[in-house]
Amino acid sequence: MTPPPASSSTRNIRRLHLRIRSLAALGILATALLAGLITALPFYHAARSGIERISQLSAETQAEVLHHQFKRYQDITRQLSGRTEIRDRLAAYARGDISRQALSDFTTPRLADAMAQAPDMVGLIRQGPDGQVVSRIGKTPADVMPSHDPQEGYPCRLYLLGQRDVLVQSCSPIVTPEGERLGRDIAFFQAESLLALLANTQRFGEGAKVRLRTNSGQQTLMLGPEGPVISRFDSLDSREETVQVTLEAALGDRGWELLVAVPSQRFHNEALQLLLWPALAILLLALGGTWVVSSALHPLLARVDRQARELEASGQKLRLAASVFRSAHEAIAITSPSHTIIDANPAFASHLGYAARALIGRPMKALLAWHTDCSAWLKHGLKHLEENGTWQGEVRYRCANGDILVALQTVSAVRNGDGETLRYIHIFNDVTEQRAAEEVVRHQALHDELTGLSNRAQLEQHLERAIRQSRLTGKPLAVLFMDLDHFKEVNDTLGHQAGDRLLQAVSERLQANLRAEDMLARLGGDEFVIVVAPIQAVDNAARVASNVVEALTTPFVIGDTPVTIGVSVGVAIFPADGSDGDSLLQAADAAMYRAKTSGRNTWRLCSPPAALHNP
């Protein structure tokens, strides 16, 4: 049976319904589009600015690493210029007491010996008072241009020898203790670490170019297709400026700069990727509004349409979430409320060295690298997570091969409408290399390179803490200032290498005669300081000083040669001999000189024993 044809009124109503639905849909879509544009533009600019700030921080981190490397070159050059014996011969030449040839014969082998102790140093030029070359050792460029900077120890110029050989120049004046300038040392260092840093553009994305500009602005170092290139610095032309963003990071305050040219398109693309989710949310909102209007007008059609849309939207969300979860570079794990792993993405499993399936069902705490205060830290973190629904901090994981991975981790709670926690989302980034690099820099800044002992900076920090503790407890502390006797004769007869080995042996012997809580530091040359804290009486400090003198009286064997030295020790007591670290060190130094004038190989108190016992 054929259905009757629809009436004109029915057709008009159908057309009206269609028109109403169309206008409602267009109105909702227009509103969504306008809202999307209003939201997207500020979000895009904020996202792009954030990405550029992260890239700038990366450039500044690389510049800081390079700055510390240049400071190390500076320190090595200054130590070389400060060697007393060679400087004294240069002073004799300046006075006309010896010939230039005699000076060169004496200086060259000793400078070569000193160069051998600095692996990065490949060349050295020592100049006399009038700029004449006294010694030229190793790999040096022909056109040397020394710096006229007052702080000229900091690297001041780059050289390219051959196709790939880059040298870093560092200058240091040779000055007598009275301040008379005798000449200059110009040292050249192999720039392997510098080239490695310029080659590492991965964190800035494909197409990024890293350049190093010197403090004079006359040189730029970059890696070309066939190797390193040193040229005059030129600004980017207008075409490059429109397609690139240049990040500038200063190396300390010395005028050197690290320049990173990043394609502008990279920031644009990453910002657009961040806009994907807001755009999708606005689109879903618009579709939902259309659905509400349609469902109000046509309940039956809306019900069918709603089911289809919900199934499609759910499938899209699940597929999108699964794709993001599996392909994300960040390590992501999903755990139960008891922190048992339910799922982990490939990045999480790869970072820890496990198969993804092997992680499912394991407690998160079983993957941690436990240490002394780990239980208290874990308890505090879980409490914060339960109260606030989120937590961020550093976590140490133990990988499958036993290595420790340091992660910057964020944990977020997924809760239902009643506030009950259903899941926890764990996301972390591997910062192991960054933390290791920071620890290396920190250790180098606080320790003596030759002996591994604490240097002056760490001594001053330790002494300040010990004085504060002494004031709290009322127990005194002692500072022992030591200067080796006859050390110069060892250097003169056996050479500087033997002298360095002797300093290392002295450090080991002194350390073996101290308590775990006492501190031993090397100030430089043959000067050492011991901080004994706390002490019960002045006799304790006197006993330590006597033990030190006795320990260093026993001959050393350097190579096959027995070496006998002594030590002069000055003892200062806090608070009797000084109220702060500087005054204690000065008092101990003065007492040490009294020990030297008393015949050496002995010790002296800064203040008489009676004054110390009766303050």
Which of 400, 431, 462 is where one domain is finished? 431
pLDDT at 306: 66
Q: Does one domain contain both 154 and 72? A: yes
CATH no. for residue 561? 3.30.70.270
Q: Are residues 227 and 357 located together in one domain of the fold?
A: no
- Which has the minimum average pLDDT: 367-381, 517-531, 566-580? 367-381
- 419, 452: one domain: no
- Greater confidence (455 vs 27) lies with 455
Domain count for the chain: 3
Q: Are residues 112 and 196 in the same domain?
A: yes
Confidence of residue 615 (pLDDT cuts 50, 70, 90): very low
**Helical (H) or strand (E) element with 347:** helix 346-352
Domain span at residue 197?
A: 55-274
Q: Is the pLDDT of residue 68 over 80?
A: yes
Q: Tell me the mean pLDDT in the region 116-132.
A: 87
pLDDT of residue 460: 92
In tens, the pLDDT along 221-243 reads 766 656 677 776 555 444 555 56
Same domain, 396 and 488: no
Per-residue model confidence (pLDDT) at position 227: 64
Cis peptide before 615 (omega within 30 of 0): no
Domain annotation covers residue 37: no
Confidence of residue 2 (pLDDT cuts 50, 70, 90): very low
Q: What CATH number did the domain enclosing 348 receive?
A: 3.30.450.20
DSSP-assigned beta bridge partners for residue 229: 222
Q: Say yes or no to pLDDT of 147 above 70.
A: no
- Which strand ranges, in their side-by-side order, compose the sheet holding 257-263? 227-231, 220-224, 209-213, 257-263, 244-250
Instruction: Determine the pLDDT at residue 3.
Output: 47
pLDDT of residue 529: 96
Domain identity same for 204 and 344: no
Same domain, 259 and 125: yes
Is pLDDT of 466 > 90?
yes
User: What is the structure's pLDDT at 551?
Assistant: 92
On the question of pLDDT at 161 being above 60, the answer is yes
* CA angle at 56 for the pair 69 and 274, rounded to the nearest 5°: 145
Give me the pLDDT at residue 238, please. 47
Last residue of a domain, one of 274, 301, 321: 274
Residues 483 and 517 in one domain: yes
Q: Which of 385, 407, 431 is the last residue of a domain?
A: 431
Helix, strand, coil percentages (3-state) for the chain, rounded to 5, are 50, 25, 25
Whether omega before 5 lies within 30 degrees of 0, making that bond cis, reads no
Confidence label for 18 from pLDDT (cuts 50, 70 and 90): confident
Beta bridge partners of 425: 334, 412
Give yes or no: residues 451 and 390 share one domain: no
pLDDT for 268-313, tens place per residue? 676 677 777 777 777 777 677 667 766 775 665 556 456 656 767 7
Return the number of other C-beta atoms located less than 10 Å from residue 373's C-beta.
9
Q: Are residues 373 and 467 in the same domain?
A: no
Q: How confident is the model at residue 125 (pLDDT cuts 50, 70, 90)?
A: very high
Query: pLDDT at position 216, please?
Result: 64
pLDDT 10s digits, 263-277: 777 666 766 777 777
Higher pLDDT, 86 or 506: 506
| 359 contacts 349 by C-beta, under 8 angstroms | yes
Answer whether residue 50 is part of any domain: no
d(CA 484, CA 493): 16
Residue 284: inside a domain: no
Q: What average pLDDT does range 126-148 have in this prediction? A: 82
Distances (CA, A) of 235 to 211, 240, 353: 12, 10, 46
Inter-CA distances, 106 with 86, 123, 162, 548, 603, Å: 8, 18, 31, 35, 36
In this structure, the answer to whether residues 361 and 458 fall within a common structural domain is no
More confident residue, 124 or 153: 124
Question: Within this chain, do residues 107 and 244 fall inside the same structural domain, yes or no?
Answer: yes
Residue 455 within a domain: yes
Residue 317, SS3 per DSSP: helix
Residue 152 lies in a domain: yes
pLDDT digits (tens, 9 = 90+) for 376-408: 667 777 788 788 888 887 888 888 888 888 888
The dihedral built from the CA positions of residue 461, 467, 472 and 477, taken in this order, carries a sign that is positive
Residues of the chain above pLDDT 90, percent: 22
pLDDT over 80 at 614, yes or no: no
Residue-wise pLDDT tens digits, 189-216: 888 877 787 777 777 777 777 777 776 6
Two structure tokens written together for 440: 């290396």
Within a domain: 23? no
Q: Best-predicted range by mean pLDDT among 79-88, 447-456, 474-483, 601-610?
A: 474-483
Instruction: Give the C-alpha distances (Å, rounded to integers) separating 387 from 317, 390, 410.
Output: 29, 8, 15
Q: Would residue 24 count as lying in a domain?
A: no
| pLDDT (mean) for 18-33 | 74
Q: Where is pLDDT greater, at 18 or 67?
A: 67
The verdict on residue 291 lying in a domain is no
**Is there a contact between 332 and 352 (Cβ–Cβ < 8 Å)?**
no
Query: How high is the mean pLDDT of the chain?
Result: 80
pLDDT interval class at 150 (50, 70, 90): very low
